[in-house]
Structure 1
Amino acid sequence: MKKATVTYLFDPLCGWCYGAAPMLDRLAAGGVAIDALPTGLFSGAGARPLDAGFAAHAWASDQRIRQLSGQPFSQAYRDNVLSARGTLLDSAAATLGISAAGFKDPQRRLPALKAIQNARYVDGRDIVTKRGVAVVLEDADMVDAARLMMAPTEEFLVAHRDLVGRGRELFQRLHAGGTPALAVIRSGTPRLISSNALYGSYDSLIATILAA
């Protein structure tokens, strides 16, 4: 197929983004270039307490995601993450870690995102604190990213704010209803692809991308 590039808008605490990971892997393996942009959807004003009501809603949604994508949501995640009280649903630290991983090489954003998602949804680990994210990155052989996020330079912080700003700007421009969101940009004009395509037919998604 001819070379294609897509922009992927995500938040590391979005369960549906975790569910989209297998399709993203297939796209990358098929030669599609993926520009991954964090939106900061669940950080800042978007952060919220992880209370019992939200945990129940999240777990029900997670089961739907599992059915559509095959992605596992472990008992460790349910016990150690969803059942933990006094914590926030706040993606600021995870987003910072992903930005640090891709600071010099943007292609490392997706591997960092995948490591952070697996740490949360499979291993039931902390990814809402800077230290927790740093340990996940260290375990994923991204020690440089872990060090950078724990001791950020001004150059990196400026780049991080710009990265999230670009993600938010495109998210708003597309009028995306949530994450994940996938877009094809031609001649400066972005076209939103339905997020449902990330859980359906690979061939159909490829055809949609090439036709955009």
Structure 2
Amino acid sequence: MIGKTHITYLFDPLCGWCYGASPLLAQLAAAPNLTITLAPTGLFSDSGARSMDEQFAAFAWSNDQRIGSLTGQRFTDAYRSQVLAKGGMLDSGPATLALTAVALTAAEHEVDALRSIQEARYVSGRDVTDMSELQNVLASVGLGAAASRLASPDSDLLAANRERMASARALMREFPVNGVPGLIVDDGAHRTLLKAQDLFNDSDLVARLSNTGVSSAGLARNSHPMKG
């Protein structure tokens, strides 16, 4: 009998390529022989946050069109006009905290919550750097407990959020990997890093990970043996 393979998903909720990978993430989460842990890296939070000026907005839109062409994901005119053109900050800190609130209150729905936040931004053109907007997104998909935690972040929520990002960043240093999205695939014998190019260029990835595990799927080129 094949044991479950564990996948750690390295991502940032405001990363366009991570939004592009969301259909793949949904398939992985639905696969019966796989388990998924979300690991937010904080790529665009804290010191990684930046101003959404006109030049960067143009760059982002051009990159988003390439992602959409490759993945079929929608980047709408509402997103372009209400998010990119509006300016403000590219800061994933609030969205990352929102997902941690979901992890603490309804962990089984975190993948769905991530997709809802991404679609709120890239499809509906909503400002998911705003805490009240994030509360509305969570409440609208039945995650009222998480929305309530986000309304008044307590020390436990803030500590859990810091711990999740620290753990994700430690994995990025260990393998190493500079960007997201990425998967750390653990089949019990090896932990294997799959970078973005592996995720978007392998149409059989979900089936191979689900049915055969990492080592026998021929993915061991980036593997680290498990240590006791």
Instruction: Output the TM-score relative to the length of structure 2.
Output: 0.86
Sequence identity of aligned pairs in percent? 41
Match of 2:94 in 1: 93
Structure number, greater radius of gyration: 2
Unaligned runs of 5+ in 2: 221-228
1:9-24 equivalence runs, <5 A: 9-24=10-25
**Counterpart amino acid of residue 5 in structure 1:** H
Distance 2:102 2:178 in 1: 27
Q: 1:188 Cα shift?
A: 8.7
Distance 2:47 2:142 in 1: 32
Q: Is the 8 A contact 1:174 1:190 kept in 2?
A: no
Distance 1:141 1:81 in 2: 25
1:98-177 equivalence runs, <5 A: 98-177=99-178
Match of 2:77 in 1: 75
**Counterpart amino acid of residue 210 in structure 1:** V
Q: Deviations over 1:62-87 (max 9, x none)?
A: 111111111000010000001012x1
Q: Secondary structure at the match of 1:182?
A: strand
Instruction: Output the TM-score relative to the length of structure 1.
Output: 0.92
Asked whether 1:210 is paired with 2:211, we answer no
Q: Secondary structure at the match of 1:131?
A: helix
Q: Deviations over 1:151-177 (max 9, x none)?
A: 122222222211121112112222212
Distance 1:205 1:197 in 2: 11
C-alpha change, 1:136 and 1:189, in structure 2 (3 Å) is same
My pick for the range that moved more, 129-138 or 65-74, is 129-138
Q: Deviations over 1:131-187 (max 9, x none)?
A: 121111111211111110111222222222111211121122222120101111356
Match of 2:225 in 1: none
Distance 1:28 1:131 in 2: 28
Q: Secondary structure at the match of 2:128?
A: coil
Give the ranges of 4+ consecutive aligned residues of structure 1 lying more than 6 Å apart after TM superposition. Answer: none
Aligned length: 211
Q: 1:194 Cα shift?
A: 2.5
Distance 2:189 2:57 in 1: 40
Distance 2:59 2:37 in 1: 30
Q: Is the 8 A contact 2:11 2:18 kept in 1?
A: yes
**Counterpart amino acid of residue 118 in structure 2:** Q
Q: 1:17 Cα shift?
A: 0.2
Q: Is the 8 A contact 1:76 1:124 kept in 2?
A: yes
Match of 2:54 in 1: 52
